[in-house]
Amino acid sequence: MERQSARHTATSDSDQYRRERIRRMNRNFFLHIHATKVHPHSLKPETTFGLGMILGFLFVVMLLTGVLLMLNYTPSVGQAYSSVKNIVHAVPGGRIIRNVHRLASHGMVIVVFLHLLRVFYTGSYLGGRTLNWIIGVCMFVVVLLMSFSGYLLPWDQLSYWAVTIGSNIAASARELTDLLGITKFLDVGGFFQRLLIGGETVGQPALTRFFMLHVIFLPVTLLVLTAVHFWRIRKDGGLSRPASVEKQEKLFSWPVVMWAELAIFIGVVAVVLLLAFFMDAPLLEKANPAHPDNPAKSPWYFLGIQELVSYSAFAGGLLIPVLFLWFMFSIPYRDREEEHVGIWFSGVRGRKVARNAAMISLGVVIVQVFVMVQFGWLRDWLPGISQWFVMLINPATITVGVFVLLSLQVRKRTGSSRMAAIALFTAAMVALVIFTVIGIWFRGANWEFVL
Ligand code: HEM
């Protein structure tokens, strides 16, 4: 009798505890974004590496510090620079807040790239997650634009010339319209450039545009996209997982998910704060439109594109970025092999395909850059050659051509759309990283190659 009543008390205790755990999640506005139960696979560190949450928290840090910076920033050509100087030297804590803001923004660019890799390589665009992948690609673009639009605001030499280069990239279509002789009637490149900076050169209209984009339009867009992104994760049944673990019993989210998120939050804030004490955001002399920086470089995350633009403006600045985005958006429509969902590289075969594609990409890019640096390219060999050839046959277009052939070949050999996607995606990402590294460390004055 006594034993029966003890069992009854234990059962009702655990029932009560269970109800309490559900209530905690449901009653709290912020916790409500989580389901009351979570699959144990989602809690393993190697499932996500916490990258999505790190991104979310970096975004929060960026918003908070951005609001504080705005209190003292003046978005006018005459005062922008001095207001930033004032923030750094006179406003209490201003230097650290600015450093944190910049680190969070650059951190977001790096982490969004890593998160995208993890989502792709675990096949997490499969299993009904097409829409969330597409929203994610949009978020990737918005994160880049958010960082880029903030670049101009200090109005120093670095920001002025980086944005000038960015705006020249926006005008890349001119190479094609010039060749067709139609720029006078249909100046697509000029249209994009004017849309971006409000004229032919960077001035007050550009600063006003970038300020509005940076403080209102892009953050609000990212907030809305993030809300839909999180909602979709719930609707898609939580994070992706292999079918083999599907039957494992789910765990209560309270309190284990909260502890994990709190740890990530504290980690993010601690790392960013620590770095902010030692890594000052650059502030050169005030922007001087008469004195270009040499080399004038775009922000580091666009240096891969700037490298491609140095081969051909149209191919590097428009054609390849558009093809890249089209490929990214189309991935879930090309590959519908649902059995791969939630498995890193889809197993041993995918790992091998990724490794081979990475090696091929490395070889193709390095060999071409070596040839170009040592022996020049078409115009050096045949000075009178038509610009059409230079635009269509250069290391950028050849690289893309080789990658497409590679993925077709993998598709034919393996009969798998997932393997073909892994080959093309890996090759493209490795090339992007190599071109970016070349742009950052191996290009000097007049965009000459330096070792
Ligand atoms: C500011 C940008 C972003 C934020 C704040 C964000 C946040 C998150 C979070 C918190 C998760 C769940 C945990 C995790 O996977 O780490 C997640 C999952 C996901 N994200 Fe993102 N994300 C962003 C950008 C992207 C991008 C660029 C893509 C892909 C192109 C993407 C696609 C996905 C998908 C498909 C899932 C579900 C993954 C699964 O089911 O395993 N996200 N995201």
Supply 357's token pair. 């594609």
pLDDT, one tens digit per residue, over 65-114 is 999 999 999 999 999 999 999 999 999 999 999 999 999 999 999 999 99
What H or E segment, with its residue span, contains residue 288? none
Q: Taking the CB of residue 75, how many other CB atoms lie within 10 A of it? A: 19
Among 39, 53, 146, 233, which is best to mutate for testing ligand 1, by the most ligand atoms less than 8 A from CB?
A: 233
pLDDT, one tens digit per residue, over 309-327 is 999 999 999 999 999 999 9
How far does residue 293's CA lie from ligand 1's centre (Å)? 37
The rounded Cα 199 to chain-centroid distance in angstroms is 28
What backbone torsions phi and psi does residue 443 show, to the nearest 5 degrees?
A: -120, 125
Q: Which residues line ligand 1 (CB under 6 A)?
A: 48, 51-53, 55-56, 59, 112, 115-116, 119, 124-125, 129, 132-133, 136-137, 139-140, 143, 226, 229, 233, 239-240
Specify the residue with its C-alpha closest to ligand 1, atom 13: 52
Specify the residue with its C-alpha closest to ligand 1, atom 11: 52
Angle at the Cα of 364 (from 363 to 369), degrees rounded to 5?
100
How far does residue 115's CA lie from ligand 1's centre (Å)? 6
Q: How confident is the model at residue 148 (pLDDT cuts 50, 70, 90)?
A: very high
**Three-class SS of residue 430?**
helix
Exposure b/e, 40-60, CB count within 10 A at least 16 = b: ebbeeeebbebbbbbbbbbbe
pLDDT value of position 293 = 84
Among 38, 62, 119, 222, which is best to mutate for testing ligand 1, by the most ligand atoms less than 8 A from CB?
A: 119
How far does residue 45's CA lie from ligand 1's centre (Å)? 15
Q: Is the pLDDT of residue 3 over 60?
A: no
Q: CA 18, CA 439: separation in Å to the nearest integer?
A: 56
pLDDT value of position 4 = 52
pLDDT value of position 13 = 57
Average pLDDT, the chain: 94
Q: How confident is the model at residue 29 (pLDDT cuts 50, 70, 90)?
A: confident
Specify the residue with its C-alpha closest to ligand 1, atom 6: 52
The pTM of the full predicted model, rounded to 2 decimals, is 0.94
- The answer to whether the beta carbons of residues 222 and 109 sit under 8 Å apart is no
Specify the residue with its C-alpha closest to ligand 1, atom 12: 52
**Three-class SS of residue 1?**
coil
Question: What would you report as the CA-atom Rg of the chain, rounded to the nearest whole angstrom?
Answer: 25
- The answer to whether the beta carbons of residues 53 and 263 sit under 8 Å apart is no
**Domains, the chain, ranges and CATH?**
39-287 (1.20.810.10), 345-451 (no CATH)
Specify the residue with its C-alpha closest to ligand 1, atom 14: 52
Q: Is the pLDDT of residue 12 over 60?
A: no
